[in-house]
Structure 1
Amino acid sequence: MQLPQRKATRLKGYDYSSPGVYFITICTQNRKCMLSDLVVGEGLAPPETRLSEIGRIAEEQILALEERFPSVSIDRYVVMPNHIHILLLLREQAGGASPSPTVPQVIGTFKSITTRLNRAYGAEGLVFQRSFHDHVVRGEADYREIWDYIDSNPARWQEDRFYTD
């Protein structure tokens, strides 16, 4: 029996410790809606995101990345019911500092700590899928488009193929 080949999720030959901006998408295990609920606003009001306990811990750990990794900035993020989008800036380390972390190291740390904290609070099983999706942001127009995409993501939730009411 031949097992299916896992598709490479990283840009071949790219140095993910390079300074730059990265658009990251992290999905929950089996795309289970466990991070938040989106409550439809009245009239033209955008949906309100209500984080679950797991989602609250995930948000805290997103924000803690800047403290853990001095060369990392979180420019924008959104915690959706079954995924998280992050616009992550990786800066060059100040002279003499230890080497910059790679994007996979930063995201791996986030996922590991978030899962460990959730288990400490009684959650069972995996929180996130094994890997994550990334896009190396190429220029100002790309950056603005991704920023807008993250901002409008809650309003488009009902169009998501994993949306459930």
Structure 2
Amino acid sequence: MISDIHRRRSIRLKGWDYGSLGYYFVTICIQNRENLFGDIINGNMALNDVGHIVEKCWQDIPAHFPHADLDEFIVMPNHFHGILVIKGFVGAYKHTPQRSDRSVQSRANIYSPLRKDMSDGPMLRSPSKTVGSVIRGFKIGVSQWVHKNTEIFSVWQRNYYEHIVRNETELDQTRQYIRDNPSAWPQDEENPQRFGS
């Protein structure tokens, strides 16, 4: 019998198909929040060798996962933010049901995820075409290079955070948040030197 202490609760949205078309804002943190990827200098991120590998592995995602595309991203000293786009015919499409009640339909559209390429297509997908599989491949690529070329033992935390981007306004806000991340580093909760602590 497994004790409750060792059970891990999923931080994913229950019932959501993470192979569905859409935009996903992901954050991946370094194990123990160590600054492994570089430094913030005058409000700009200065990548070190490991940081450049993180950037390269992220940019290589579409070559390894043709159903995935990339949007805004930033490599920070001890974490990574990026917008991952799942496109093409990969998941079950979740169309908002058509209703005659305009207020219900309007509310449903507000909370419906932002989709890319909503053309009709097959409803089945391979499990390897999910957000999780893309992030897993990205983390493995970075970790393999780091283990082969440095003395660093552990790079990433076990999991990652994601947010399903639901509309254009949210997409624009997320892009701006990513762009502003280096200049906001002094107040960032991921910054171990925040407020002089």
Same fold (TM over 0.5): yes
1:102-113 alignment runs, 5 A limit: 102-113=130-141
Would you say the 8 A contact 1:28–1:127 is kept in 2?
Answer: yes
Does residue 117 in structure 1 map to residue 145 in structure 2? yes
Deviation of the 1:5 alpha carbon:
4.7
Does residue 75 in structure 1 map to residue 75 in structure 2? no
Deviation of the 1:136 alpha carbon:
0.5
Aligned length: 158
> What is the SS of the residue equivalent to 2:176?
helix
Which residue does the alignment assign to 2:99? none
Q: Summarize deviations over 1:60-84 as a string: whole Å, max 9, x none.
A: 0000001111111111100001110
Deviation of the 1:4 alpha carbon:
6.0
Which residue does the alignment assign to 2:38? 36
1:11-160 alignment runs, 5 A limit: 11-40=13-42, 47-93=43-89, 99=126, 101-160=129-188
Which residue does the alignment assign to 1:44? none
What is the CA–CA distance in structure 1 between the aligned matches of 2:139 and 2:89, rounded to whole Å?
23
Would you say the 8 A contact 1:18–1:92 is kept in 2?
Answer: no
Would you say the 8 A contact 1:23–1:85 is kept in 2?
Answer: yes
The structure number with the bigger radius of gyration is 2
What is the CA–CA distance in structure 2 between the aligned matches of 1:29 and 1:137, rounded to whole Å?
26
Q: Name the aligned partner's letter for residue 45 of structure 2.
A: T
What is the CA–CA distance in structure 2 between the aligned matches of 1:49 and 1:58, rounded to whole Å?
13
TM-score normalised over the length of structure 2: 0.74
Structure 1 unmatched runs, 5+: 41-46
Q: Return structure 1 stretches of 4+ with deviation > 6 angstroms.
A: none
Identity of aligned residues (%): 34
What is the CA–CA distance in structure 1 between the aligned matches of 2:4 and 2:82, rounded to whole Å?
35
What is the CA–CA distance in structure 2 between the aligned matches of 1:150 and 1:123, rounded to whole Å?
30
Would you say the 8 A contact 2:44–2:183 is kept in 1?
Answer: no
CA RMSD in angstroms, aligned pairs only:
2.0
What is the CA–CA distance in structure 2 between the aligned matches of 1:64 and 1:35, rounded to whole Å?
18
Deviation of the 1:93 alpha carbon:
3.5
Structure 2 unmatched runs, 5+: 91-120
Q: Name the aligned partner's letter for residue 58 of structure 2.
A: I
Q: Name the aligned partner's letter for residue 72 of structure 1.
A: A
What is the CA–CA distance in structure 2 between the aligned matches of 1:138 and 1:24, rounded to whole Å?
14
